[in-house]
Amino acid sequence: MSLPKTTKGWAVVGQGSFDNLKFDTQQPLPELSDNEVLVKFHAASLNFRDIMIAQGTYPFDVKANIIPGSDGAGEVVAIGNKVTRFQEGSKVMTLFMQAYFGGPLTPKVLGSAVGGSVDGTMREYGVFNENGLVDMPKNLSYLEAATLPCSALTAWNALYGLRAVLPGDWVLTQGTGGVSISALQFAKAAGARVVATTSSTAKAQKLRELGADHVINYKEIPNWGEEAKRLTEGGVDHVLEVGGAHTITESLKAVNIGGYVTIIGWIAGPGETGPSFPQILSSMAVVRGIVVGSRDQFETMIRAIEASDIQPVLDQQIFKLEELKDAYQYLVDQKHFGKVVIKIE
């Protein structure tokens, strides 16, 4: 077949509001080099990072006029002359950091993030180096697979990157976004127990249905860190910290001596008062910041998803590519449970 020279897709042409998201039906596509593949995307998903980039609050460098979106799943429709990892028809997902295959993080790796430094997934077609893609899990659809590259891999890294979660461990998750839901699923698959927090009675019931052993409504119990320690009779072993300065104060109350608090994000925004230095020290916890994960970790996670037949949780509202601005606002309004996905047709 003749290869497309343009694609429909979005670009972030400024910062400060979603009005700077611009849709174009004629975005140019580069010609394939020897080690590149052309992917026809069928699905993408949103992360809070995408909101921050559009609003101008993302703390890392962003390429001008970046095509947004780090998470995508699609089909390889053409390959370069020296490609060996894939063939035409391969079903693939994007790797969040295109140069992160394993080992320690480096400035080069951090500068290869899709949707920030490298054009992303909110488009119909995209050209990628073959090393920046992985095979889709065989048990998932395009929509389900499109949720994995950022939030699921982040959850996996939090639970397995430093000290692997063990059967009987206690894991604490915050809210009902993609990272927290994936962490709940991975923890239960490993035989661990989960304390989940939320502000919604309806969402609390869904968390229980997914296997949460305890659910704390943080509006009803603002001092939820001590409540988590009480429920677990001594504290949790892993905390996935996604909130910010205020929530990490509670996380340090919840964690067991020698436990792990993995800092993933700060969706609560700036301006909150954080923990004191004595509180950090006296917790005796390991506090660790992470940025998603490597290709090695991604491929290990995929094997676990296939072996345990883990099904990602999609929000009931599925958006079309042309409705991306509405999807952004939906995520900001926190109407979602699980991942907000984009169907690309």
Per-residue confidence in pLDDT tens, the chain, 345 aa: 689 999 999 999 998 999 999 999 999 999 999 999 999 999 999 999 999 999 999 988 999 999 999 999 999 999 999 999 999 999 999 999 999 999 999 999 999 999 999 999 999 999 999 999 999 999 999 999 999 999 999 999 999 999 999 999 999 999 999 999 999 999 999 999 999 999 999 999 999 999 999 999 999 999 999 999 999 999 999 999 998 888 999 999 999 999 999 999 776 555 567 888 888 888 999 999 999 999 999 999 999 999 999 999 999 999 999 999 999 999 999 889 999 999 999
**CA proximity to 237, closest of 186, 292, 288, 168:** 168
Sign, CA dihedral 132-137-141-144, equals negative
CB-CB contact of 114 with 62 (8 Å): no
pTM reported for the whole predicted model: 0.95
In the DSSP assignment, the letter for residue 116 is T
All domains of the chain in start order, with CATH: 6-150+293-299+311-343 (3.90.180.10), 162-289 (3.40.50.720)
Give me the amino acid identity at 278: P
Residues 6+ apart with CB under 8 A from 23: 8, 9, 10, 322, 324
